[in-house]
Amino acid sequence: MSDPRVTSLEGELPDGLVDAVLAYEAALAADDVPALADAFVRAPTTLRGDASGLLVGHDAITGFRGRRGGTPPRGLAELHVRAVDAGTALVVTVNTPSRGGRGLVTQLWSLDEGVWRVRAAQVQAPAPALDARVWRVVGAPLVPPTGSGELDGLEIAVKDLFAIEGQRIGAGVPARLAEAAIETGTAPAVADLLEAGAAVRGLAQTDEFAYSIAGRNSGYGTPPNPAVPDAIPGGSSSGPATAVSLGQASVGLATDTAGSIRVPASYQGLWGLRTTHGAVPVAGLLPLAPSFDTVGWLTRDVLTLQRVARVGLARAEQHAPGRGVVTAPGLLAAADPAVQEAFARRIEVLVADGALEEPESVVLPPMAEMFADFRTVQAAEAWAADGEWVSAHPGALAPDVQGRFDAASRLDEATVAAARERLDGYRSALDSALGDRVLLLPSASSPAPPLDASAERIDAVRTATLSMTCVAGIGGYPALSAPLLSVAGAPVGLCLVGPRGADLALLERAAAFGSPKHG
């Protein structure tokens, strides 16, 4: 016997078991204490454990439920059954709390007077802070709000590149942190959120000097990816993204030079906005490549992202683009075939639903040439910003990041100047081709690669992804990653690239696309 509600099954599925499990979840959602009491075997040997300890006996469990006052709303993502016999089964479920993250519940169910009831349960809630892979320093909060307003109640995970008074900037490098001076002021991008009522939960980890999109860090470890547990999280805004995914922060304040917001958003199924270049102040921000560096945010839902964007962009001029949308086959070719298929299906659905006009295909400057010149200028500016420190600290960085700085150190002025001149031409060509329309493309070339992917595989994914994402950097455009695609169950972002100053309009348009769906 099979049941479409069951993710995996071993043995024969006992009659009525799945209905009992779902009824238990419904009772939890309603905080129906009598129903929850009836769901457990009425015996002094019944068990329920969690991180706080073990409750033994039905009376103790029922008393706990009466005192707890309910649980946050949650969905059921997976249901696995291992039948022991006709009257006993082990059930493992994965749940998705509304506040983010994933929980795990293991239950031993048995027939008790003809009714399925829980004999033993172990509850694992989403992981709490502090995880040093995710956070460099965290508080409760680390910095309280300085005012009240639209962001009341939100907690921010600040990428460890922004100045916060009384803290150091670590930039994902333990050796740099050890030498860093204590900041005497707070970056405006942080201060604006504090004034609007948000609190800083903590400083979250970044890939070393933000010079990576993988999410790996040799000094602190790789943050988990709650959406794809055996995969990398994406970077360089890895810490803020994971903190938001786990429900440990409402918003990730981050940076995007070549894709450092959009890639982790794509890999973890988050909303992520790279703002128009220069729209959010970068004072108090440790730079990577100032010609392309932007400030932006990561959230679990679009409404929260709209709230924080309205505050963060309050100083910037905004306008709405036209309704036209375009795609660029030359860019799309960099994506994996499965991503291309998911992208095409989603566009078809959005057009059929009336959420999008039929996209027009446009020809952009050659992708490989744009990326090559972008990479040259980015490298030159990264070396100008951090090369002196890197030279003085051999062995402080991971081999891949060190390799990029080594290559940057060998660039000559003529090569960089020529690349800058060509980028100016590409920017004009992009403006001409895109006009006042929105460019649609995947946010990344693939779903998140596995944790054990080879260095060669990670580098190939990096090249393919940055070939697409660099368009926003070259044009200084805002770019929004919306979690609207899926490949083999893993999230991939749908990216909207708009004209400069169309940041809020991109959010409004994507909000009308509806809830994330499998591609």
User: Same domain, yes or no, for 206 and 268?
Assistant: yes
**What was the pLDDT predicted at 518?**
36
pLDDT tens, position by position, 324-368:
999 999 999 999 999 999 999 999 999 999 999 999 999 999 999
Spatial separation of the C-alpha atoms in residues 17 and 23, rounded to whole Å: 10
**Distances from the Cα of 70 to the Cαs of 30, 61, 92, 336, in angstroms?**
8, 13, 21, 44
pLDDT tens, position by position, 252-268:
999 999 999 999 999 99
What would you report as the CA-atom Rg of the chain, rounded to the nearest whole angstrom? 25
pLDDT tens, position by position, 194-246:
999 999 999 999 999 999 999 999 999 999 999 998 899 999 999 999 999 99
Per-residue pLDDT, averaged over 270-294, amounts to: 99
CATH number of 320's domain: 3.90.1300.10
Indicate the pLDDT class of residue 425, thresholds 50, 70 and 90.
Answer: very high
User: Same domain, yes or no, for 113 and 155?
Assistant: no
User: Same domain, yes or no, for 455 and 402?
Assistant: yes
User: Same domain, yes or no, for 160 and 184?
Assistant: yes
CATH number of 37's domain: 3.10.450.50
pLDDT above 80 for 79: yes
**What was the pLDDT predicted at 19?**
96
Residue ending a domain, among 104, 124, 144, is 124
pLDDT above 90 for 175: yes
* 208: DSSP letter: G
Task: Report the DSSP beta bridge partners of residue 121.
Answer: 48, 107
Per-residue pLDDT, averaged over 180-193, amounts to: 99
Whole-prediction pTM value?
Answer: 0.85
Provide the 3-class DSSP secondary structure of residue 305.
helix
Domain assignment of residue 182, yes or no: yes
357-376: burial string, b at 16+ Cβ within 10 Å, e else? eebeebebbebeebbebbbb
pLDDT above 70 for 92: yes
Spatial separation of the C-alpha atoms in residues 350 and 297, rounded to whole Å: 25
The two most distant CA atoms of the chain are separated, in Å, by: 84
Residue ending a domain, among 124, 158, 193, is 124
**What was the pLDDT predicted at 72?**
80
Closest alpha carbon to 486 in 303, 228, 288: 228
Q: Which residue has the higher pLDDT, 328 or 51?
A: 328
Domain assignment of residue 196, yes or no: yes
Indicate the pLDDT class of residue 438, thresholds 50, 70 and 90.
Answer: very high
Domain assignment of residue 358, yes or no: yes
* Residue with the two structure tokens 């100008």: 384
pLDDT above 80 for 514: no
**What was the pLDDT predicted at 66?**
77
pLDDT tens, position by position, 368-417:
999 999 999 999 999 999 999 999 999 999 999 999 999 999 999 999 99
Per-residue pLDDT, averaged over 168-175, amounts to: 98
* Residue with the two structure tokens 């590409």: 426
pLDDT above 50 for 451: yes
Closest alpha carbon to 207 in 353, 46, 6, 397: 397
Residue ending a domain, among 124, 144, 161, is 124
Cα 465 versus chain centre, distance: 16
Residue 297 near residue 202 (C-beta atoms within 8 A): no
CA atoms within 13 A on the CB side of 238: 34
Helix (H), strand (E) at residue 481: strand 479-487
User: Same domain, yes or no, for 95 and 185?
Assistant: no
**What was the pLDDT predicted at 515?**
56
User: Same domain, yes or no, for 154 and 84?
Assistant: no
Spatial separation of the C-alpha atoms in residues 96 and 289, rounded to whole Å: 37
Indicate the pLDDT class of residue 1, thresholds 50, 70 and 90.
Answer: low
Domain assignment of residue 2, yes or no: no
Closest alpha carbon to 147 in 83, 191, 103: 191
Indicate the pLDDT class of residue 50, thresholds 50, 70 and 90.
Answer: confident
User: Same domain, yes or no, for 319 and 357?
Assistant: yes
Spatial separation of the C-alpha atoms in residues 63 and 320, rounded to whole Å: 56
Indicate the pLDDT class of residue 144, thresholds 50, 70 and 90.
Answer: very high
Indicate the pLDDT class of residue 101, thresholds 50, 70 and 90.
Answer: confident
Spatial separation of the C-alpha atoms in residues 214 and 496, rounded to whole Å: 21
Residue 364 near residue 433 (C-beta atoms within 8 A): yes
Q: Which DSSP string do the residues of 67-122 spell out, in sequence order? A: HH-----EEEEEEEEEEEETTEEEEEEEEEETTSS-EEEEEEEEEETTEEEEEEEE
Closest alpha carbon to 242 in 217, 268, 263: 268
User: Same domain, yes or no, for 319 and 420?
Assistant: yes
**What was the pLDDT predicted at 4?**
87
pLDDT above 50 for 517: no
Closest alpha carbon to 448 in 253, 240, 262, 205: 262
pLDDT tens, position by position, 305-322:
999 999 999 999 999 999
Task: Report the DSSP beta bridge partners of residue 299.
Answer: 251, 271
**What was the pLDDT predicted at 271?**
99
User: Same domain, yes or no, for 299 and 379?
Assistant: yes
User: Same domain, yes or no, for 141 and 120?
Assistant: no
Domain assignment of residue 195, yes or no: yes
Residue 246 near residue 226 (C-beta atoms within 8 A): yes
Average pLDDT, the chain: 95
User: Same domain, yes or no, for 46 and 166?
Assistant: no
pLDDT above 60 for 299: yes
Domain assignment of residue 205, yes or no: yes
Q: Which DSSP string do the residues of 384-435 spell out, in sequence order? A: HHHHHHHHHSTT-S-HHHHHHHHHHHT--HHHHHHHHHHHHHHHHHHHHHHT
Indicate the pLDDT class of residue 53, thresholds 50, 70 and 90.
Answer: confident
Amino acid letter, residue 55: L
Burial of residue 389 (number of CB atoms within 10 Å: 0-12, 13-18, 19+) = middle
Count up the domains in the chain and report the number.
2
Domain assignment of residue 259, yes or no: yes
Closest alpha carbon to 27 in 38, 12, 16, 15: 38
User: Same domain, yes or no, for 315 and 253?
Assistant: yes
Spatial separation of the C-alpha atoms in residues 78 and 434, rounded to whole Å: 42
State which residues form the domain around 64: 8-124
**What was the pLDDT predicted at 389?**
98
Domain assignment of residue 69, yes or no: yes
Closest alpha carbon to 343 in 461, 492, 512: 492
